[in-house]
Chain A
């Protein structure tokens, strides 16, 4: 079964980089979504195995997306330059692994594998 990942990132070069990286490793990428509205729209029609979230999007913090993912039991990984993403994006983000930004691809894939296994 192919693994699907929802990619939420508003900086187009970074979004592109992550999308290409993920596709090279055989992931099917939904997105990238640059806004909360876009991400929620994509989630209405899809059930990804996992999500990669940036914290601050074009239309505000990613909080609502994280809440919907939690409610639907879809694990997610944060890729943010903030050291404490929950300070910016709220409680919904706490406890999720932050692979950081710039993102080391090994950290990203390790976190994704762990997220889908747990």
Chain B
């Protein structure tokens, strides 16, 4: 091989190496054993807003008016690296005058040249500030999702625990529990999918649909448009479901002739009030129950605690009449 070939070989090798360094999107520095910059990648210049003249042959700690004179970096270069061949993602947090506070991940690789015993250091510097921020935000979001999931599970637990098992077959218990469970699921769908609000008419129809399919036994009178908050959607849905299942067991829906009429109006007050009535007729003669079951308690509790309103259950012989008045 003659000298010219050798030169070409070396030159090609150099171009290749420089090409690789300039292609990598993260800043790269090549330091000699005295920690002076031998070479820097294009990404280094653009990331730290410096030019080649201010960089090459500079002592690393003097770079950019000493902005790299960081205690953590000194520890890495002077203590960690001499004891290991390579360091990966060593975290350096620093306020850079040109680009502000950043989290940098520094990786280093030691290169050794046996012919003259010299050592080089290849440093890659990854700006992980945005990634860290995203990771932190994701952690917060995940925590919140976990919290909400557990809360939902607690709701399901409450329904499972409080649905009466006494004097019921497993099948009956299952139906009663799943009826409540499905209502909760549908209510959550209605409450949280459309910009966190829903219309009363939709909520009433959606909740009572499973009980009135085709029979015309449930009449929902047209009423004014009422926008409900998620909490109101869930509690009203649960209330309507309890009233409907009660009607199937003991009331208007236990016979083929029974009817339920639902109507509502809004009253101007401060805050405005909703007055909703549920009127059963045509069913078997009604006698007031002697004890309040979970369903009745749920109705009362939901209206008073969640809606902040009042509910009246009138067990009139010709049919149950329920009046709910609640602030909107």
Contacts and interface: CB of A to CB of B under 8 A. Distances in A.
Interface of A: 11-17, 20-21, 32, 34, 81-82, 100-103, 105
Contact of B306 (A12, A100, A103): A12
A100 B147 CA distance: 11
A81 B294 CA distance: 25
Interface of B: 146-148, 150-151, 153-159, 161-162, 235, 238, 294, 297-298, 301-302, 305-306
Given A21-B161, A81-B147, A82-B147, A16 B154 contact: no
A82 B156 CA distance: 18
A101 B305 contact: no
Nearest to A13: B158
Contacts of A15: 301, 305
Given A17-B161, A17-B162, A21-B161, A12 B302 contact: yes
A101 to B, nearest CB: 5
Given A32-B305, A34-B305, A16 B150 contact: no
B295 to A, nearest CB: 11
A14 B158 contact: yes
B162 A102 contact: no
A102 B147 CA distance: 10
Contacts of B153: 102
Contact of B157 (A12, A32, A82, A102): A102
B154 to A, nearest CB: 4
Contacts of B305: 12, 15-16, 32, 34
Nearest to B156: A102
Given A15-B305, A21-B161, A81 B154 contact: yes
Contacts of B294: 20
Nearest to A104: B157
B117 to A, nearest CB: 55
A12 B158 CA distance: 10
A11 B154 contact: yes
B150 A81 contact: yes
Given A17-B162, A81-B151, 13 more contacts: A11-B151, A14-B154, A16-B162, A16-B298, A20-B162, A21-B161, A32-B305, A34-B305, A81-B146, A81-B147, A100-B150, A102-B150, A102-B157
Contacts of B161: 17, 21, 105
A100 B162 CA distance: 19
A16 B297 contact: yes
Contacts of B302: 12
Contact of A17 (B146, B158, B306): B158
Nearest to B158: A17
